[in-house]
């Protein structure tokens, strides 16, 4: 049973930022049992938000945190604003009664230490790293909680994040940088694979549109097969590789000494280092 039913109108969930990711997650929460009177939304572009969520009453919405601050004691605060807007958001929260709230951030680069400095050392903080497929409920998110987060608060945060797809947890926050390098940035690697596979198809004579369609459906279909199969990626690769066949000829290049494995490791290491450099 979803823990979202524990969130009530007396101590609602406050969503700060209702763009593509925040909006998709909110729609998932409502479907999972979050009561319509147990959510408050802060976003400067409310016209679009109201169109996306026409069933919610007007008193759910506010353009600024200060519009809601008086008399509101949220149980959970989800920070879904862009990193460059986070300073403004956490500063405004100082005027709200947040002592009993758990904070869940899905903003890239903002560390638990950052929130503890702004919200206090006693604040219950969960830092989470979703990826872009979360916007359609097919992502994977990795969370890390500080010592102030209770088991029950973490369980609620888990259910909140489940609205975006699969959820995993790490106990060491430094691993979030590695998560960012693999799954956070990973969708771009897949999109680039589609681009490069299509380009390779064009190079051997396929029309551009056909090459794009073949590449896209091959990647999407293979991913769906992997998800539904009881076999892992290694075995599925072996199964499709006939001895001395066309696939083996290609894999001899991709899996060679200077092939995709070495290149991918180099790319992920670069993303990992950049994530550490950007941490605030």
**What is the per-residue pLDDT across 209-248, written as a single tens digit (0 to 9) for each?**
999 999 999 999 999 999 999 999 999 999 999 999 999 9
Residue 223 has, within 13 A of its CA and on its CB side, a CA count of 14
pLDDT at residue 267, as a whole number = 97
Report the distance separating Cα 273 and Cα 68, nearest Å.
Answer: 39
What is the band of 141 on the pLDDT scale with cuts at 50, 70, 90? very high
Mean pLDDT of the chain: 93
Question: 205 in the Ramachandran plot: left (φ > 0), alpha (ψ -120 to 50) or beta?
Answer: left
- The H or E element containing residue 266 is helix 260-278
Q: What is the mean pLDDT of residues 138-153?
A: 96
Beta strands in the chain (DSSP E): 13-16, 39-42, 61-62, 76-79, 102-105, 124-129, 139-145, 165-169
| Beta-bridge mates of residue 144 | 127
Ranked by mean pLDDT, the top range of 27-31, 70-74, 91-95, 221-225 is 221-225
Mean pLDDT (whole number) for 248-261: 96
Please give the pLDDT value at position 58.
86
| CA 153 to chain centroid | 19
Q: What is the pLDDT at residue 11?
A: 92
Of the listed ranges 97-111, 191-205, 257-271, the least confidently predicted one is 97-111
Which tens digit of pLDDT belongs to each residue from 26-61? 988 988 888 888 999 999 988 888 888 888 888 899
Highest mean pLDDT among 50-54, 87-91, 136-140, 187-191: 187-191
Q: Which DSSP state fits 182?
A: I
Per-residue pLDDT, 120: 93
Contact 93, 77 (CB under 8 A): yes
Q: Partners of 42 in the beta sheet? A: 16, 62
What is residue 243's predicted lDDT score, i.e. its pLDDT?
96
Residues 153/167, Cβ–Cβ less than 8 Å: no
Better-predicted residue by pLDDT, 86 or 53: 86
CATH 1.10.3730.10 fits 186-278, yes or no: yes
Where does 172-259 have alpha helices with state H?
Answer: 175-179, 186-203, 208-228, 233-240, 246-254
DSSP-derived 3-state class of residue 126:
strand
Residue 91 has pLDDT above 70, yes or no: yes
CATH 3.40.50.720 fits 3-176, yes or no: yes
Task: Name the β-bridge partners of 62.
Answer: 42
Helix axis angle, 208-228 relative to 186-203, nearest 10°? 140
Res 128: pLDDT: 96
> Domain coordinates of the chain in residue numbers?
3-176, 186-278
Supply the pLDDT for residue 1.
58
- Residue 69 has what pLDDT? 66
Residue of 92 and 55 predicted with greater confidence: 92
Percent above pLDDT 70 for the chain: 99
Has residue 252 got a pLDDT over 70? yes
Q: Cα-flanking dihedrals φ and ψ of residue 141, to 5°?
A: -125, 140
What is the chain's length? 280
Instruction: Give the pLDDT of residue 51.
Output: 87
**CA–CA separation, 13 vs 74, rounded Å?**
6
pLDDT of 105 reads: 96
What integer pLDDT is reported at residue 240 of this predicted model? Answer: 97
pLDDT band at residue 95 using 50, 70 and 90 as cut-offs: confident
pTM comes to 0.90
State both tokens at 1: 């049973």
| Nearest residue to 168 (alpha-carbon basis) of 193, 137, 197, 145 | 145
Residue 132, judged by CB atoms within 10 A of its CB (0-12, 13-18, 19+), counts as middle
């Amino acid at each position: 049973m979803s823990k979202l039913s524990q969130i009530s109108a007396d101590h609602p969930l406050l969503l700060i930022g209702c763009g593509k990711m925040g909006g998709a997650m909110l729609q998932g929460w409502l479907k999972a049992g979050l009561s319509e009177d147990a959510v408050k939304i802060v976003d400067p572009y409310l016209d679009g938000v109201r169109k996306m969520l026409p069933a919610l009453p007007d008193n759910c919405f506010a353009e600024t945190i200060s519009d809601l601050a008086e008399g509101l004691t949220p149980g959970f605060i989800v920070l879904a604003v862009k990193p460059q807007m986070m300073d403004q958001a956490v500063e405004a929260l100082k005027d709200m009664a947040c002592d009993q709230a758990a904070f869940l951030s899905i903003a890239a680069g903002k560390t638990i230490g950052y929130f503890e400095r702004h919200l206090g050392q006693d604040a219950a903080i969960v830092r989470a790293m979703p990826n872009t497929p979360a916007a359609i409920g097919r992502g994977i998110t990795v969370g890390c909680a500080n010592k102030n987060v209770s088991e029950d608060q973490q369980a609620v945060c888990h259910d909140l994040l489940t609205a975006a797809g699969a959820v995993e947890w790490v106990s060491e926050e430094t691993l979030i940088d590695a998560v960012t390098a693999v799954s956070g940035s990973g969708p771009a690697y897949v999109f680039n694979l589609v681009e490069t596979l299509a380009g390779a198809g064009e190079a051997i004579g396929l029309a551009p549109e056909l090459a794009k369609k073949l590449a896209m459906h091959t990647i999407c279909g293979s991913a769906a097969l992997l998800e539904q199969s009881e076999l892992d990626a290694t075995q599925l690769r072996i199964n499709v590789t006939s001895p001395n066949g066309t696939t083996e000829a290609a894999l001899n290049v991709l899996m060679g000494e200077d092939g995709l494995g070495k290149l991918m490791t180099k790319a992920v290491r670069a993303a990992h280092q950049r994530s550490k450099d950007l941490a605030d």
